Structure 1
Protein backbone atom coordinates (compact mmCIF):
# COMPACT_ATOMS: atom_id res chain seq x y z
CA UNK A 1 0.00 0.00 0.00
CA UNK A 2 1.17 3.43 -0.79
CA UNK A 3 1.03 6.44 1.43
CA UNK A 4 -1.93 7.79 -0.55
CA UNK A 5 -3.92 4.65 0.25
CA UNK A 6 -3.29 5.11 3.96
CA UNK A 7 -4.38 8.73 3.70
CA UNK A 8 -7.61 7.77 1.93
CA UNK A 9 -8.37 5.03 4.46
CA UNK A 10 -7.64 7.42 7.32
CA UNK A 11 -9.90 10.05 5.79
CA UNK A 12 -12.73 7.53 5.41
CA UNK A 13 -12.33 6.40 9.01
CA UNK A 14 -12.33 10.02 10.17
CA UNK A 15 -15.50 10.77 8.24
CA UNK A 16 -17.20 7.68 9.66
CA UNK A 17 -16.13 8.57 13.20
CA UNK A 18 -17.23 12.18 12.72
CA UNK A 19 -20.63 11.23 11.30
CA UNK A 20 -21.14 8.76 14.14
CA UNK A 21 -20.30 11.37 16.76
CA UNK A 22 -22.49 14.19 15.40
CA UNK A 23 -26.30 14.32 15.48
CA UNK A 24 -28.89 17.03 14.98
CA UNK A 25 -31.58 17.91 17.52
CA UNK A 26 -34.73 19.17 15.80
CA UNK A 27 -36.59 22.10 17.36
CA UNK A 28 -39.66 19.87 17.68
CA UNK A 29 -37.92 17.26 19.83
CA UNK A 30 -35.66 16.56 22.78
CA UNK A 31 -32.92 13.95 22.86
CA UNK A 32 -31.25 11.73 25.41
CA UNK A 33 -27.69 10.47 25.01
CA UNK A 34 -27.41 6.96 26.45
CA UNK A 35 -24.38 4.79 27.12
CA UNK A 36 -25.21 1.15 27.68
CA UNK A 37 -28.74 2.19 28.63
CA UNK A 38 -27.62 4.81 31.15
CA UNK A 39 -28.48 8.48 30.58
CA UNK A 40 -25.39 10.55 29.92
CA UNK A 41 -26.90 13.87 28.92
CA UNK A 42 -30.10 15.62 27.83
CA UNK A 43 -30.17 17.70 24.65
CA UNK A 44 -33.08 20.15 24.66
CA UNK A 45 -31.69 22.98 22.50
CA UNK A 46 -32.03 22.53 18.73
CA UNK A 47 -28.87 22.26 16.64
CA UNK A 48 -25.75 20.10 16.39
CA UNK A 49 -24.72 17.88 19.29
CA UNK A 50 -21.95 15.39 19.87
CA UNK A 51 -21.62 11.90 21.35
CA UNK A 52 -19.07 9.15 21.52
CA UNK A 53 -19.26 7.14 18.31
CA UNK A 54 -20.45 3.52 18.54
CA UNK A 55 -20.69 3.77 22.32
CA UNK A 56 -23.42 6.32 22.88
CA UNK A 57 -26.99 6.00 21.64
CA UNK A 58 -29.44 8.84 20.94
CA UNK A 59 -33.13 8.52 21.86
CA UNK A 60 -35.48 11.25 20.63
CA UNK A 61 -38.78 12.35 22.16
CA UNK A 62 -41.43 14.62 20.69
CA UNK A 63 -41.38 18.04 22.34
CA UNK A 64 -44.70 19.19 20.88
CA UNK A 65 -48.08 19.26 22.64
CA UNK A 66 -49.67 15.85 22.29
CA UNK A 67 -53.30 14.73 22.49
CA UNK A 68 -54.81 11.75 24.31
CA UNK A 69 -58.43 10.59 23.90
CA UNK A 70 -59.31 8.63 27.01
CA UNK A 71 -61.58 5.61 26.99
CA UNK A 72 -65.24 6.18 27.86
CA UNK A 73 -66.01 5.62 31.55
CA UNK A 74 -69.11 5.77 33.76
CA UNK A 75 -69.25 8.11 36.75
CA UNK A 76 -71.85 8.41 39.50
CA UNK A 77 -72.44 11.97 40.77
CA UNK A 78 -73.89 12.62 44.22
CA UNK A 79 -77.48 12.44 42.87
CA UNK A 80 -76.85 8.77 41.85
CA UNK A 81 -77.63 9.53 38.23
CA UNK A 82 -74.98 7.68 36.26
CA UNK A 83 -73.27 9.43 33.36
CA UNK A 84 -71.03 8.20 30.56
CA UNK A 85 -68.02 10.53 30.29
CA UNK A 86 -65.71 10.86 27.29
CA UNK A 87 -62.65 13.10 27.81
CA UNK A 88 -59.43 14.15 26.12
CA UNK A 89 -56.17 15.58 27.44
CA UNK A 90 -53.38 17.80 26.12
CA UNK A 91 -49.94 17.02 27.46
CA UNK A 92 -46.21 17.22 26.67
CA UNK A 93 -43.01 15.47 27.70
CA UNK A 94 -41.61 18.03 30.10
CA UNK A 95 -38.70 16.04 31.55
CA UNK A 96 -37.16 13.52 29.13
CA UNK A 97 -34.89 12.08 31.86
CA UNK A 98 -37.78 11.43 34.22
CA UNK A 99 -39.85 10.12 31.31
CA UNK A 100 -37.12 7.61 30.37
CA UNK A 101 -36.70 6.45 33.94
CA UNK A 102 -40.46 6.02 34.39
CA UNK A 103 -41.34 4.44 31.04
CA UNK A 104 -38.04 2.74 30.23
CA UNK A 105 -37.83 1.45 26.69
CA UNK A 106 -41.63 1.55 26.34
CA UNK A 107 -43.22 3.49 23.52
CA UNK A 108 -45.39 6.59 23.70
CA UNK A 109 -48.44 4.31 23.75
CA UNK A 110 -47.17 2.87 27.02
CA UNK A 111 -46.85 6.36 28.47
CA UNK A 112 -50.36 7.29 27.32
CA UNK A 113 -51.78 4.14 28.88
CA UNK A 114 -50.23 5.09 32.22
CA UNK A 115 -51.37 8.70 31.83
CA UNK A 116 -54.91 7.50 31.18
CA UNK A 117 -54.61 5.47 34.38
CA UNK A 118 -54.04 8.78 36.16
CA UNK A 119 -56.69 10.92 34.43
CA UNK A 120 -59.69 8.56 34.56
CA UNK A 121 -59.54 8.02 38.36
CA UNK A 122 -59.36 11.79 38.82
CA UNK A 123 -62.46 12.22 36.64
CA UNK A 124 -64.34 9.67 38.75
CA UNK A 125 -63.14 11.19 42.02
CA UNK A 126 -63.93 14.81 41.21
CA UNK A 127 -67.24 14.22 39.42
CA UNK A 128 -68.31 11.85 42.20
CA UNK A 129 -67.49 14.11 45.14
CA UNK A 130 -70.19 15.44 47.48
CA UNK A 131 -72.22 18.32 46.10
CA UNK A 132 -71.51 17.52 42.45
CA UNK A 133 -74.73 16.45 40.71
CA UNK A 134 -75.44 15.60 37.09
CA UNK A 135 -76.96 19.06 36.70
CA UNK A 136 -73.74 20.61 38.04
CA UNK A 137 -71.70 18.67 35.46
CA UNK A 138 -73.97 19.90 32.67
CA UNK A 139 -74.05 23.52 33.89
CA UNK A 140 -71.55 26.39 33.76
CA UNK A 141 -69.75 24.82 36.76
CA UNK A 142 -68.41 22.22 34.31
CA UNK A 143 -65.40 24.45 33.53
CA UNK A 144 -64.40 24.55 37.20
CA UNK A 145 -64.67 20.77 37.47
CA UNK A 146 -62.44 20.31 34.40
CA UNK A 147 -59.86 22.63 35.93
CA UNK A 148 -59.86 20.53 39.13
CA UNK A 149 -59.34 17.37 37.06
CA UNK A 150 -56.47 19.07 35.17
CA UNK A 151 -54.72 20.23 38.36
CA UNK A 152 -55.02 16.83 40.05
CA UNK A 153 -53.81 14.99 36.93
CA UNK A 154 -50.90 17.39 36.42
CA UNK A 155 -49.60 16.79 39.94
CA UNK A 156 -49.69 12.99 39.56
CA UNK A 157 -48.30 12.96 36.01
CA UNK A 158 -45.08 14.68 37.07
CA UNK A 159 -43.73 11.29 38.20
CA UNK A 160 -43.87 10.23 34.53
CA UNK A 161 -42.01 13.32 33.35
CA UNK A 162 -45.23 14.56 31.71
CA UNK A 163 -46.96 17.91 32.01
CA UNK A 164 -50.74 17.78 31.70
CA UNK A 165 -51.82 21.05 30.11
CA UNK A 166 -55.56 20.55 29.92
CA UNK A 167 -58.28 17.93 30.44
CA UNK A 168 -61.63 18.46 28.76
CA UNK A 169 -64.90 16.56 28.95
CA UNK A 170 -66.04 15.96 25.38
CA UNK A 171 -69.35 14.26 26.14
CA UNK A 172 -71.38 13.57 29.26
CA UNK A 173 -74.35 11.39 28.36
CA UNK A 174 -76.67 9.02 30.10
CA UNK A 175 -75.95 5.28 29.72
CA UNK A 176 -77.81 3.62 26.86
CA UNK A 177 -80.41 1.92 29.07
CA UNK A 178 -81.04 5.11 31.06
CA UNK A 179 -81.11 7.12 27.84
CA UNK A 180 -83.94 5.00 26.44
CA UNK A 181 -85.91 5.34 29.68
CA UNK A 182 -85.36 9.09 29.69
CA UNK A 183 -86.47 9.40 26.06
CA UNK A 184 -89.56 7.31 26.82
CA UNK A 185 -90.40 9.54 29.77
CA UNK A 186 -89.87 12.66 27.64
CA UNK A 187 -92.08 11.22 24.88
CA UNK A 188 -94.83 10.39 27.38
CA UNK A 189 -94.65 13.88 28.85
CA UNK A 190 -94.82 15.50 25.40
CA UNK A 191 -97.71 13.23 24.38
CA UNK A 192 -99.59 14.20 27.55
CA UNK A 193 -98.99 17.90 26.84
CA UNK A 194 -100.13 17.36 23.24
CA UNK A 195 -103.30 15.60 24.44
CA UNK A 196 -104.02 18.49 26.82
CA UNK A 197 -103.51 21.00 24.02
CA UNK A 198 -105.78 19.00 21.70
CA UNK A 199 -108.48 18.80 24.40
CA UNK A 200 -108.27 22.54 25.01
CA UNK A 201 -108.41 23.16 21.27
CA UNK A 202 -111.49 20.92 20.91
CA UNK A 203 -113.16 22.73 23.77
CA UNK A 204 -112.43 26.11 22.19
CA UNK A 205 -113.66 24.82 18.82
CA UNK A 206 -116.91 23.61 20.40
CA UNK A 207 -117.45 27.04 21.93
CA UNK A 208 -116.78 28.73 18.59
CA UNK A 209 -119.10 26.32 16.74
CA UNK A 210 -121.86 26.78 19.34
CA UNK A 211 -121.53 30.54 19.12
CA UNK A 212 -121.58 30.37 15.32
CA UNK A 213 -124.68 28.13 15.34
CA UNK A 214 -126.40 30.52 17.74
CA UNK A 215 -125.46 33.47 15.55
CA UNK A 216 -126.82 31.66 12.47
CA UNK A 217 -130.12 30.93 14.23
CA UNK A 218 -130.42 34.53 15.44
CA UNK A 219 -129.61 35.99 12.02
CA UNK A 220 -131.99 33.55 10.26
CA UNK A 221 -134.78 34.30 12.71
CA UNK A 222 -134.27 38.02 12.34
CA UNK A 223 -134.23 37.71 8.54
CA UNK A 224 -137.42 35.65 8.57
CA UNK A 225 -139.10 38.12 10.89
CA UNK A 226 -138.12 41.02 8.68
CA UNK A 227 -139.24 39.04 5.59
CA UNK A 228 -142.62 38.34 7.18
CA UNK A 229 -143.01 41.99 8.10
CA UNK A 230 -142.05 43.04 4.57
CA UNK A 231 -144.39 40.43 3.07
CA UNK A 232 -147.24 41.57 5.30
CA UNK A 233 -146.63 45.21 4.45
CA UNK A 234 -146.53 44.30 0.74
CA UNK A 235 -149.77 42.32 1.01
CA UNK A 236 -151.39 45.20 2.82
CA UNK A 237 -150.18 47.60 0.19
CA UNK A 238 -151.36 45.28 -2.59
CA UNK A 239 -154.77 44.92 -0.99
CA UNK A 240 -154.96 48.64 -0.60
CA UNK A 241 -154.17 49.09 -4.27
CA UNK A 242 -156.81 46.50 -5.20
CA UNK A 243 -159.34 48.16 -3.01
CA UNK A 244 -158.59 51.57 -4.43
CA UNK A 245 -158.74 50.23 -7.98
CA UNK A 246 -162.01 48.44 -7.27
CA UNK A 247 -163.48 51.64 -5.89
CA UNK A 248 -162.55 53.64 -8.95
CA UNK A 249 -164.05 51.29 -11.61
CA UNK A 250 -165.78 48.17 -10.40
CA UNK A 251 -166.55 46.80 -13.89
CA UNK A 252 -162.97 47.16 -15.12
CA UNK A 253 -161.70 45.54 -11.95
CA UNK A 254 -164.00 42.56 -12.43
CA UNK A 255 -162.91 42.35 -16.07
CA UNK A 256 -159.20 42.39 -15.07
CA UNK A 257 -159.76 39.72 -12.47
CA UNK A 258 -161.54 37.54 -15.01
CA UNK A 259 -158.65 37.88 -17.49
CA UNK A 260 -156.21 36.95 -14.73
CA UNK A 261 -158.32 33.89 -13.90
CA UNK A 262 -158.45 32.89 -17.60
CA UNK A 263 -154.65 33.21 -17.82
CA UNK A 264 -154.06 31.05 -14.78
CA UNK A 265 -156.72 28.43 -15.66
CA UNK A 266 -155.92 28.02 -19.35
CA UNK A 267 -152.13 27.59 -19.10
CA UNK A 268 -150.54 24.78 -21.06
CA UNK A 269 -150.17 21.62 -19.03
CA UNK A 270 -153.02 22.36 -16.60
CA UNK A 271 -155.61 19.73 -15.91
CA UNK A 272 -158.63 19.72 -18.22
CA UNK A 273 -161.70 21.75 -17.11
CA UNK A 274 -165.19 20.52 -17.70
CA UNK A 275 -167.46 23.59 -17.51
CA UNK A 276 -170.80 24.33 -19.11
CA UNK A 277 -170.68 27.06 -21.74
CA UNK A 278 -173.18 29.19 -19.85
CA UNK A 279 -171.01 29.19 -16.72
CA UNK A 280 -170.30 32.55 -15.12
CA UNK A 281 -166.62 31.83 -15.70
CA UNK A 282 -167.09 32.67 -19.39
CA UNK A 283 -169.28 35.72 -18.93
CA UNK A 284 -166.71 38.08 -20.42
CA UNK A 285 -165.81 35.71 -23.26
CA UNK A 286 -169.45 35.21 -24.31
CA UNK A 287 -170.66 38.81 -23.90
CA UNK A 288 -170.45 40.90 -27.07
CA UNK A 289 -169.88 43.94 -24.93
CA UNK A 290 -167.14 42.14 -23.01
CA UNK A 291 -169.21 42.31 -19.79
Structure 2
Protein backbone atom coordinates (compact mmCIF):
# COMPACT_ATOMS: atom_id res chain seq x y z
CA UNK A 1 0.00 0.00 0.00
CA UNK A 2 2.80 2.33 0.84
CA UNK A 3 4.51 1.58 -2.50
CA UNK A 4 1.28 2.13 -4.44
CA UNK A 5 0.74 5.42 -2.70
CA UNK A 6 4.21 6.50 -3.75
CA UNK A 7 3.72 5.50 -7.41
CA UNK A 8 0.40 7.28 -7.95
CA UNK A 9 1.81 10.83 -7.81
CA UNK A 10 4.68 9.83 -10.06
CA UNK A 11 2.22 8.31 -12.55
CA UNK A 12 0.08 11.41 -12.47
CA UNK A 13 3.10 13.62 -13.17
CA UNK A 14 4.12 11.38 -16.06
CA UNK A 15 0.61 11.51 -17.55
CA UNK A 16 0.40 15.29 -17.24
CA UNK A 17 3.86 15.69 -18.75
CA UNK A 18 2.98 13.40 -21.64
CA UNK A 19 -0.26 15.26 -22.30
CA UNK A 20 1.50 18.62 -22.24
CA UNK A 21 3.94 17.36 -24.85
CA UNK A 22 1.09 16.77 -27.32
CA UNK A 23 -0.83 19.49 -29.14
CA UNK A 24 -3.46 19.42 -31.89
CA UNK A 25 -3.40 21.67 -34.94
CA UNK A 26 -6.81 22.45 -36.41
CA UNK A 27 -7.24 22.48 -40.20
CA UNK A 28 -8.08 26.17 -40.03
CA UNK A 29 -4.79 27.16 -38.43
CA UNK A 30 -1.02 26.80 -38.43
CA UNK A 31 1.25 26.46 -35.43
CA UNK A 32 4.78 27.34 -34.39
CA UNK A 33 6.78 25.59 -31.70
CA UNK A 34 8.90 28.11 -29.82
CA UNK A 35 11.78 27.45 -27.50
CA UNK A 36 12.81 30.47 -25.46
CA UNK A 37 11.20 32.69 -28.11
CA UNK A 38 13.00 31.06 -31.03
CA UNK A 39 11.12 29.09 -33.69
CA UNK A 40 12.18 25.47 -33.65
CA UNK A 41 9.34 23.87 -35.57
CA UNK A 42 6.59 24.85 -37.99
CA UNK A 43 3.41 22.75 -37.89
CA UNK A 44 1.48 23.55 -41.07
CA UNK A 45 -0.47 20.33 -41.54
CA UNK A 46 -3.48 19.60 -39.32
CA UNK A 47 -3.16 16.82 -36.77
CA UNK A 48 -1.05 15.95 -33.71
CA UNK A 49 2.20 17.67 -32.90
CA UNK A 50 4.76 17.22 -30.17
CA UNK A 51 6.86 19.58 -28.10
CA UNK A 52 9.10 19.46 -25.05
CA UNK A 53 7.00 20.22 -21.98
CA UNK A 54 7.86 23.30 -19.94
CA UNK A 55 10.60 24.30 -22.37
CA UNK A 56 8.72 24.74 -25.60
CA UNK A 57 5.42 26.51 -26.28
CA UNK A 58 2.95 26.49 -29.16
CA UNK A 59 1.70 29.65 -30.94
CA UNK A 60 -1.25 29.31 -33.31
CA UNK A 61 -2.19 31.53 -36.22
CA UNK A 62 -5.38 31.57 -38.30
CA UNK A 63 -4.83 30.08 -41.77
CA UNK A 64 -8.07 31.47 -43.25
CA UNK A 65 -8.54 34.63 -45.32
CA UNK A 66 -8.99 37.52 -42.90
CA UNK A 67 -10.64 40.90 -43.44
CA UNK A 68 -9.39 44.25 -42.30
CA UNK A 69 -11.37 47.51 -42.51
CA UNK A 70 -9.17 50.51 -43.15
CA UNK A 71 -10.10 53.69 -41.34
CA UNK A 72 -11.52 56.36 -43.69
CA UNK A 73 -8.76 58.51 -45.13
CA UNK A 74 -8.73 61.70 -47.14
CA UNK A 75 -7.05 61.71 -50.56
CA UNK A 76 -6.37 64.50 -53.04
CA UNK A 77 -6.67 63.47 -56.73
CA UNK A 78 -5.00 65.30 -59.61
CA UNK A 79 -7.88 67.80 -59.91
CA UNK A 80 -7.51 68.85 -56.22
CA UNK A 81 -11.02 67.66 -55.46
CA UNK A 82 -10.56 66.10 -52.04
CA UNK A 83 -12.31 62.81 -51.34
CA UNK A 84 -12.85 60.62 -48.28
CA UNK A 85 -12.19 56.96 -49.11
CA UNK A 86 -13.41 54.02 -47.05
CA UNK A 87 -11.75 50.71 -47.98
CA UNK A 88 -11.12 47.20 -46.72
CA UNK A 89 -8.64 44.45 -47.51
CA UNK A 90 -8.55 40.66 -47.37
CA UNK A 91 -5.27 38.99 -46.43
CA UNK A 92 -3.84 35.65 -45.41
CA UNK A 93 -0.80 34.55 -43.44
CA UNK A 94 1.30 32.55 -45.89
CA UNK A 95 4.61 32.28 -44.00
CA UNK A 96 4.01 31.83 -40.27
CA UNK A 97 7.72 31.80 -39.42
CA UNK A 98 8.37 35.11 -41.17
CA UNK A 99 5.16 36.46 -39.71
CA UNK A 100 6.38 35.62 -36.21
CA UNK A 101 9.72 37.25 -36.86
CA UNK A 102 8.06 40.39 -38.20
CA UNK A 103 5.36 40.93 -35.58
CA UNK A 104 6.84 39.14 -32.57
CA UNK A 105 4.40 38.64 -29.73
CA UNK A 106 2.12 41.34 -31.14
CA UNK A 107 0.32 38.79 -33.32
CA UNK A 108 -2.56 39.64 -35.64
CA UNK A 109 -3.27 43.02 -34.02
CA UNK A 110 0.27 44.27 -34.69
CA UNK A 111 0.18 42.91 -38.25
CA UNK A 112 -3.13 44.67 -38.94
CA UNK A 113 -1.64 47.97 -37.79
CA UNK A 114 1.29 47.45 -40.17
CA UNK A 115 -1.12 46.56 -43.01
CA UNK A 116 -3.17 49.68 -42.30
CA UNK A 117 -0.09 51.81 -42.70
CA UNK A 118 0.91 50.07 -45.95
CA UNK A 119 -2.56 50.22 -47.49
CA UNK A 120 -3.20 53.82 -46.49
CA UNK A 121 0.11 54.88 -48.02
CA UNK A 122 -0.50 53.02 -51.28
CA UNK A 123 -4.11 54.21 -51.48
CA UNK A 124 -3.03 57.86 -51.18
CA UNK A 125 -0.30 57.39 -53.76
CA UNK A 126 -2.43 55.55 -56.35
CA UNK A 127 -5.57 57.66 -55.99
CA UNK A 128 -3.49 60.82 -55.96
CA UNK A 129 -2.22 60.00 -59.46
CA UNK A 130 -5.67 59.99 -61.13
CA UNK A 131 -8.62 62.36 -61.37
CA UNK A 132 -11.62 62.28 -59.08
CA UNK A 133 -13.84 61.22 -61.99
CA UNK A 134 -11.77 58.05 -62.37
CA UNK A 135 -12.18 57.31 -58.66
CA UNK A 136 -15.92 57.97 -58.66
CA UNK A 137 -16.62 56.06 -61.87
CA UNK A 138 -17.83 52.48 -61.98
CA UNK A 139 -14.60 51.42 -63.71
CA UNK A 140 -12.40 51.73 -60.65
CA UNK A 141 -11.56 48.03 -60.35
CA UNK A 142 -8.22 48.78 -62.04
CA UNK A 143 -7.40 51.27 -59.28
CA UNK A 144 -8.15 48.69 -56.58
CA UNK A 145 -5.94 46.17 -58.38
CA UNK A 146 -3.11 48.72 -58.53
CA UNK A 147 -3.38 49.35 -54.79
CA UNK A 148 -3.29 45.61 -54.10
CA UNK A 149 -0.30 44.99 -56.36
CA UNK A 150 1.62 47.92 -54.88
CA UNK A 151 1.00 46.70 -51.31
CA UNK A 152 1.82 43.02 -52.00
CA UNK A 153 5.61 43.47 -51.92
CA UNK A 154 5.62 45.30 -48.59
CA UNK A 155 3.14 42.84 -47.10
CA UNK A 156 5.33 39.90 -48.16
CA UNK A 157 7.95 41.07 -45.66
CA UNK A 158 5.35 40.39 -42.96
CA UNK A 159 4.71 36.88 -44.25
CA UNK A 160 1.27 38.04 -45.40
CA UNK A 161 -0.41 37.85 -48.82
CA UNK A 162 -2.92 40.57 -49.67
CA UNK A 163 -5.72 38.80 -51.51
CA UNK A 164 -7.94 41.75 -52.39
CA UNK A 165 -8.47 45.46 -51.77
CA UNK A 166 -11.87 47.10 -52.19
CA UNK A 167 -13.11 50.67 -52.03
CA UNK A 168 -16.39 50.53 -50.12
CA UNK A 169 -17.33 54.17 -50.31
CA UNK A 170 -15.97 57.36 -51.82
CA UNK A 171 -17.49 60.64 -50.61
CA UNK A 172 -16.71 64.30 -50.52
CA UNK A 173 -15.57 65.76 -47.18
CA UNK A 174 -18.36 67.25 -45.15
CA UNK A 175 -17.00 70.79 -45.49
CA UNK A 176 -17.01 70.48 -49.29
CA UNK A 177 -20.54 69.16 -49.67
CA UNK A 178 -22.24 72.57 -49.43
CA UNK A 179 -19.88 74.07 -52.00
CA UNK A 180 -20.39 71.09 -54.29
CA UNK A 181 -24.18 71.27 -53.96
CA UNK A 182 -24.07 75.01 -54.66
CA UNK A 183 -21.94 74.41 -57.76
CA UNK A 184 -24.31 71.68 -58.94
CA UNK A 185 -27.31 73.95 -58.30
CA UNK A 186 -25.68 76.80 -60.25
CA UNK A 187 -24.91 74.46 -63.11
CA UNK A 188 -28.49 73.20 -63.21
CA UNK A 189 -29.82 76.76 -63.09
CA UNK A 190 -27.52 77.70 -65.97
CA UNK A 191 -28.78 74.74 -67.98
CA UNK A 192 -32.37 75.73 -67.16
CA UNK A 193 -31.68 79.30 -68.28
CA UNK A 194 -30.18 78.00 -71.53
CA UNK A 195 -33.23 75.81 -72.09
CA UNK A 196 -35.56 78.76 -71.43
CA UNK A 197 -33.55 80.96 -73.79
CA UNK A 198 -33.72 78.32 -76.52
CA UNK A 199 -37.45 77.93 -75.86
CA UNK A 200 -38.02 81.69 -76.11
CA UNK A 201 -36.02 81.79 -79.32
CA UNK A 202 -38.10 78.97 -80.79
CA UNK A 203 -41.28 80.72 -79.61
CA UNK A 204 -40.19 83.95 -81.30
CA UNK A 205 -39.57 82.05 -84.55
CA UNK A 206 -43.02 80.44 -84.30
CA UNK A 207 -44.68 83.79 -83.57
CA UNK A 208 -42.85 85.48 -86.44
CA UNK A 209 -43.87 82.69 -88.79
CA UNK A 210 -47.47 82.90 -87.55
CA UNK A 211 -47.52 86.71 -87.98
CA UNK A 212 -46.10 86.42 -91.49
CA UNK A 213 -48.64 83.75 -92.36
CA UNK A 214 -51.39 85.93 -90.94
CA UNK A 215 -50.26 88.92 -93.02
CA UNK A 216 -50.08 86.76 -96.14
CA UNK A 217 -53.55 85.32 -95.54
CA UNK A 218 -55.07 88.77 -94.84
CA UNK A 219 -53.32 90.25 -97.87
CA UNK A 220 -54.58 87.49 -100.11
CA UNK A 221 -58.08 87.88 -98.66
CA UNK A 222 -58.01 91.65 -99.17
CA UNK A 223 -56.73 91.17 -102.71
CA UNK A 224 -59.50 88.68 -103.45
CA UNK A 225 -62.02 91.03 -101.82
CA UNK A 226 -60.82 93.97 -103.94
CA UNK A 227 -61.01 91.84 -107.06
CA UNK A 228 -64.52 90.69 -106.15
CA UNK A 229 -65.53 94.24 -105.25
CA UNK A 230 -64.14 95.54 -108.52
CA UNK A 231 -65.99 92.89 -110.47
CA UNK A 232 -69.19 93.70 -108.54
CA UNK A 233 -68.76 97.43 -109.21
CA UNK A 234 -68.19 96.70 -112.85
CA UNK A 235 -71.27 94.54 -112.96
CA UNK A 236 -73.28 97.22 -111.15
CA UNK A 237 -72.09 99.95 -113.50
CA UNK A 238 -72.92 97.72 -116.40
CA UNK A 239 -76.44 97.22 -115.05
CA UNK A 240 -76.78 100.98 -114.44
CA UNK A 241 -75.59 101.68 -117.94
CA UNK A 242 -78.08 99.25 -119.43
CA UNK A 243 -80.88 100.70 -117.28
CA UNK A 244 -79.92 104.24 -118.29
CA UNK A 245 -79.97 103.23 -121.92
CA UNK A 246 -83.40 101.66 -121.64
CA UNK A 247 -85.12 104.40 -119.57
CA UNK A 248 -83.10 107.57 -119.10
CA UNK A 249 -85.82 109.39 -117.15
CA UNK A 250 -86.24 106.57 -114.62
CA UNK A 251 -82.47 106.32 -114.13
CA UNK A 252 -82.25 110.04 -113.34
CA UNK A 253 -85.18 109.71 -110.94
CA UNK A 254 -83.49 106.78 -109.18
CA UNK A 255 -80.23 108.66 -108.85
CA UNK A 256 -82.08 111.69 -107.43
CA UNK A 257 -83.76 109.54 -104.79
CA UNK A 258 -80.37 108.12 -103.73
CA UNK A 259 -79.00 111.64 -103.55
CA UNK A 260 -81.92 112.72 -101.35
CA UNK A 261 -81.40 109.68 -99.11
CA UNK A 262 -77.74 110.54 -98.59
CA UNK A 263 -78.30 114.27 -98.11
CA UNK A 264 -81.43 114.35 -95.96
CA UNK A 265 -80.30 112.44 -92.88
CA UNK A 266 -81.10 113.15 -89.27
CA UNK A 267 -77.65 114.60 -88.57
CA UNK A 268 -77.65 116.70 -91.78
CA UNK A 269 -81.06 118.43 -91.93
CA UNK A 270 -79.75 121.89 -92.89
CA UNK A 271 -78.76 122.63 -96.46
CA UNK A 272 -77.73 125.87 -98.18
CA UNK A 273 -78.76 125.92 -101.84
CA UNK A 274 -79.61 128.57 -104.42
CA UNK A 275 -83.35 128.93 -105.17
CA UNK A 276 -82.99 127.73 -108.71
CA UNK A 277 -80.84 124.68 -107.84
CA UNK A 278 -81.62 121.59 -109.85
CA UNK A 279 -81.22 119.38 -106.74
CA UNK A 280 -84.93 119.54 -105.83
CA UNK A 281 -86.37 119.49 -109.34
CA UNK A 282 -88.21 116.26 -108.70
CA UNK A 283 -89.68 117.63 -105.44
CA UNK A 284 -91.02 120.81 -107.12
CA UNK A 285 -92.67 118.93 -109.98
CA UNK A 286 -96.23 117.67 -109.54
CA UNK A 287 -95.69 114.87 -112.01
CA UNK A 288 -92.44 113.65 -110.46
CA UNK A 289 -90.45 114.90 -113.43
CA UNK A 290 -87.87 117.68 -113.45
CA UNK A 291 -89.26 121.09 -114.01
CA UNK A 292 -89.03 122.21 -117.61
CA UNK A 293 -89.62 118.73 -119.03
- Category of TM-score, reference length = shorter chain: 0.5 to 0.7
Match of 2:103 in 1: 103
Q: 2:173 aligns with which of 172, 175, 186?
A: 175
Match of 2:10 in 1: 10
Supply the distance in 1 between the matched residues of 2:190 and 2:38 (Cα, whole angstroms): 73
Any idea what the Cα deviations from partners look like across 1:230-260, whole Å, max 9, x if unmatched? xxxxxxxxxxxxxxxxxxxxxxxxxxxxxxx
5+ residue gaps, structure 1, are: 210-291
| 1:227-238 → structure 2 map (5 Å cutoff) | none
Q: 2:131 aligns with which of 131, 134, 148?
A: 134
Deviation at 1:40?
1.3
| 1:1-291 → structure 2 map (5 Å cutoff) | 2-128=2-128, 132-135=129-132, 137-138=134-135, 139=137, 141-195=139-193, 197=195
1:152 is paired with a residue of what secondary structure? Answer: helix
Supply the distance in 2 between the matched residues of 1:190 and 1:141 (Cα, whole angstroms): 26
2:53 is paired with a residue of what secondary structure? Answer: coil
Deviation at 1:195?
4.9
1:106 is paired with a residue of what secondary structure? Answer: helix
Any idea what the Cα deviations from partners look like across 1:135-186, whole Å, max 9, x if unmatched? 5533355222211111111111111111111111222222223332111111
Q: TM-score, normalised by structure 2?
A: 0.64
- Tell whether the 8 Å contact from 2:78 to 2:132 is kept in structure 1 after alignment: no
Supply the distance in 1 between the matched residues of 2:133 and 2:199 (Cα, whole angstroms): 39
Any idea what the Cα deviations from partners look like across 1:82-139, whole Å, max 9, x if unmatched? 22222111001111111111111114222111111111111122222xxx43255333
**Equivalences, count:** 244
Cα RMSD for the two superposed structures: 4.5
5+ residue gaps, structure 2, are: 208-293
- Tell whether the 8 Å contact from 1:83 to 1:134 is kept in structure 2 after alignment: no
Match of 2:268 in 1: none
List 4+ stretches of structure 1 deviating above 4 A.
195-209
Give the stretch that moved more between structures: 183-192 or 144-153: 183-192
Q: TM-score, normalised by structure 1?
A: 0.64
- Tell whether the 8 Å contact from 2:79 to 2:132 is kept in structure 1 after alignment: no
